[in-house]
């Protein structure tokens, strides 16, 4: 996992950086994810991004027309398996114009809604 250290016996989550260490194009991500309403769960939007060949479930919270908060989510804590993530990528409709970005599947959406809708 690169320079990340192993903490308390668990693998650290991958960092969300572009290969050239620049920030991702948050405005395009937000614009495209808002067009896919099933990605909105509670007050957050969820999507999948592949970073260094590792698929990551990501969450953004918009505020004032921009991204207020962004994080890589530990999908295992939400009952989402690696197979769920890979199936979502395989079955994606290709709506994101950014490479390596994918919408969550209906199955992942259902799991997230069951856990998070009423928080």
User: What are the per-10-residue average pLDDT scores of the chain (119 residues)?
Assistant: 41 44 71 82 91 90 79 91 96 89 94 81
In a domain, 14, yes or no: no
Structure tokens at 63: 């505020």
Does residue 34 lie within any of the structural domains?
yes
Q: What is the pLDDT of residue 17?
A: 45
For 44, the domain range is: 26-116
Task: Provide the domain count of the chain.
Answer: 1
Q: How close are the terminal C-alpha atoms of the chain, in Å?
A: 32
Flag whether 66 is in a domain.
Answer: yes
Question: For position 101, what pLDDT does the model report?
Answer: 93
pTM to 2 decimals? 0.75
Give the burial class of 4: count Cβ atoms within 10 A of its Cβ; 0-12 exposed, 13-18 middle, 19 or more buried.
Answer: exposed
What is the pLDDT, as a whole number, of residue 22?
A: 53
> What pLDDT does 57 receive?
94
Q: Is 109 contained in some domain?
A: yes
* Per-residue confidence (pLDDT) for residue 12, from 0 to 100: 43
């Amino acid at each position: 996992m690169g320079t990340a250290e192993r903490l308390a016996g668990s693998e650290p989550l991958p960092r969300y950086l572009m290969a050239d260490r620049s920030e991702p194009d948050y405005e395009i991500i937000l614009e495209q994810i808002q067009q896919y309403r099933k990605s909105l769960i509670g007050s957050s939007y969820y999507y999948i991004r592949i970073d260094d060949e590792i698929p990551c479930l990501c969450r953004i919270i918009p505020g004032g027309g921009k991204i207020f908060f962004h994080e890589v989510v530990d999908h295992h804590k939400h009952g989402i398996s690696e197979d769920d993530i890979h199936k979502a990528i395989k079955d994606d409709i290709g709506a994101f114009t950014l490479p390596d970005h994918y919408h969550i599947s209906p199955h992942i959406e259902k799991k997230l809604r069951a856990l998070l809708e009423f928080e």
